[in-house]
Amino acid sequence: MTENIKEKCDKKQNEPAASKEAKEAKEAKEAKEATELKDLVNGGFPFLEKKISECQKCALCETVTNKVISKGSKTPTVVFVGEAPGKNEDETGVPFCGRAGKLLDKYIAYMGLNQEEWAVINTLKCRPPNNRTPTKKEIETCRPFLTAQLSLMNPKVIILLGNTAEKAFGETLEWGEVKKTKIGQDILKTVDVLKIYHPAAMIYQRSREEEQYAFLDRWKGLWQKPPLDFS
Ligand code: URA
């Protein structure tokens, strides 16, 4: 047997053991995530917010001024999920409080949502230096917090603002598409998830504004209450 063929044979023989190990590692990671998630949800909002404030699971905590957790209702019909805090948010601890936030406020008003009906959260709770795009690892590390927030808020509709929020869900959606998605391994009921453009992107691409509002028009039945029937 030539060296090359022998190498191939050895590799083949080792394959099942390697893939079994990888499968076990994946299952162990999922089980750990599920336990962490259950603990976070069982502790309720105060416990979850304390855990976020104290989190040092990745290097972003070293450069952060304030963790940015949420704004709006704790029992919303619609939750908007952004990317990560920017400079203004890092300084204040409030999500979407800058220019992009002004645009998001316009969408919320257009959708006819009152104060109790919406909440805004981010995929990451810490600002990445220079507002760089969050890495896959950062999204994964922060995901239990996002999932726990959504589980506790238990909304009817989740609106993903751009690609980073979409990545956290492990689902691929077209712009303006809705998918029914199960979140948080049995903790949360199935919800409608809609992906729209991130408001920050809209500041520079005003040409997409019509399309953005068309998405909100198309899916308004998901969050608007039917008119009262007096007949
Ligand atoms: N962009 C985001 O994604 N989140 C914020 O909080 C602000 C800007």
CATH of the domain at 143: 3.40.470.10
Domain membership flag for residue 145: yes
Q: What mean pLDDT is reported for the chain?
A: 91
Does residue 155 have its Cβ closer than 6 Å to ligand 1?
A: no
With 80 as the cut, is the pLDDT of residue 231 above it? no
- Tell me the percentage of the chain whose pLDDT exceeds 90: 74
Give the pLDDT of residue 44: 95
Does residue 121 have its Cβ closer than 6 Å to ligand 1?
A: no
Answer for the pair 223, 111: CB distance below 8 angstroms, yes or no.
yes
Cα–Cα distance for residue pair 31/157, rounded to 1 Å? 27
- Measured CA to CA in angstroms, residue 34 lies from 29, 55, 183 at distances of 9, 18, 11
Domain membership flag for residue 106: yes
The domain tally of the chain equals 1
Domain membership flag for residue 33: no
Contacts of 153 (CB under 8 A, 6+ apart): 73, 74, 75, 76, 79, 119
Does residue 90 have its Cβ closer than 6 Å to ligand 1?
A: no
Max CA distance (Å), the chain: 87
- Amino acid, res. 119: A
> Which residues are paired to 181 by β-bridges?
191
Q: 151 is in which domain, residue-wise?
A: 53-222
Domain membership flag for residue 151: yes
Tell me the whole-structure pTM to 2 decimals: 0.88
Domain membership flag for residue 213: yes
Q: Which two tokens stand for residue 49?
A: 């917010």
Domain membership flag for residue 177: yes
Each residue's pLDDT tens digit, 52-87: 999 999 999 999 999 999 999 999 999 999 999 999
Cα–Cα distance for residue pair 61/199, rounded to 1 Å? 25
The CA 85 to ligand 1 mean position distance, Å, reads 5
Contacts of 32 (CB under 8 A, 6+ apart): none
- Amino acid, res. 164: T
Domain membership flag for residue 31: no
Residue 99 gets which letter from DSSP?
H
Give the pLDDT of residue 31: 87
Answer for the pair 118, 72: CB distance below 8 angstroms, yes or no.
yes
Each residue's pLDDT tens digit, 201-219: 999 998 999 999 999 999 9
Domain membership flag for residue 39: no
